[in-house]
Protein backbone atom coordinates (compact mmCIF):
# COMPACT_ATOMS: atom_id res chain seq x y z
CA UNK A 1 0.00 0.00 0.00
CA UNK A 2 1.38 3.31 -1.02
CA UNK A 3 0.15 6.45 0.74
CA UNK A 4 0.04 9.48 -1.48
CA UNK A 5 -0.29 12.89 0.10
CA UNK A 6 -2.21 15.45 -1.82
CA UNK A 7 -1.82 19.00 -0.54
CA UNK A 8 -5.09 20.63 0.27
CA UNK A 9 -5.75 24.34 -0.06
CA UNK A 10 -4.83 25.07 3.59
CA UNK A 11 -1.49 23.29 3.23
CA UNK A 12 -0.79 25.17 0.01
CA UNK A 13 -1.58 28.46 1.72
CA UNK A 14 0.74 27.61 4.65
CA UNK A 15 3.51 26.65 2.28
CA UNK A 16 3.07 29.88 0.30
CA UNK A 17 3.28 31.93 3.50
CA UNK A 18 5.84 30.01 5.56
CA UNK A 19 7.58 27.85 2.96
CA UNK A 20 10.70 30.02 2.67
CA UNK A 21 12.76 32.09 5.06
CA UNK A 22 12.49 35.88 4.82
CA UNK A 23 15.23 37.82 3.07
CA UNK A 24 18.33 38.46 5.14
CA UNK A 25 18.60 41.95 6.64
CA UNK A 26 22.06 43.48 6.86
CA UNK A 27 23.31 44.60 10.28
CA UNK A 28 23.90 48.12 8.95
CA UNK A 29 20.20 48.37 8.06
CA UNK A 30 19.14 47.40 11.59
CA UNK A 31 21.24 49.95 13.48
CA UNK A 32 21.30 53.71 13.53
CA UNK A 33 23.88 55.93 15.17
CA UNK A 34 22.96 59.34 16.48
CA UNK A 35 24.01 61.53 19.37
CA UNK A 36 22.28 60.83 22.68
CA UNK A 37 21.82 64.55 23.33
CA UNK A 38 22.26 67.41 20.90
CA UNK A 39 25.32 69.59 21.38
CA UNK A 40 24.45 72.50 23.66
CA UNK A 41 27.25 75.04 24.18
CA UNK A 42 25.38 76.60 27.11
CA UNK A 43 25.76 73.36 29.09
CA UNK A 44 29.54 73.51 28.91
CA UNK A 45 29.77 77.22 29.67
CA UNK A 46 31.12 78.28 33.05
CA UNK A 47 28.45 79.40 35.48
CA UNK A 48 30.02 81.06 38.54
CA UNK A 49 26.76 80.97 40.52
CA UNK A 50 26.30 77.26 40.00
CA UNK A 51 29.98 76.30 40.27
CA UNK A 52 29.76 75.69 44.02
CA UNK A 53 27.56 72.65 43.37
CA UNK A 54 30.32 70.76 41.57
CA UNK A 55 32.82 70.84 44.44
CA UNK A 56 32.81 68.41 47.35
CA UNK A 57 33.45 69.80 50.79
CA UNK A 58 33.35 67.69 53.94
CA UNK A 59 32.25 70.63 56.08
CA UNK A 60 29.36 71.37 53.70
CA UNK A 61 28.41 67.68 53.62
CA UNK A 62 28.29 67.58 57.43
CA UNK A 63 26.29 70.83 57.57
CA UNK A 64 28.96 72.78 59.45
Q: For 44-64, write each residue's pLDDT tens digit.
A: 777 777 766 666 677 777 776
Secondary structure of 11-61 as H, E, C letters: HHHHHHHHCCCCCCCCHHHHCCCCCCCCCCHHHHCCCCCCHHHHCCCHHHH
The model's pTM = 0.28
Please give the mean pLDDT across all residues of the chain. Answer: 77
Of the pLDDT bands very low, low, confident and very high (cuts 50, 70, 90), residue 7 is low
Length of the chain, in residues: 64
Cβ proximity of 48 and 55 under 8 Å: no
Amino acid sequence: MEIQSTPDSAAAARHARFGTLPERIRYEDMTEEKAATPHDPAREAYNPEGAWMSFSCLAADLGL
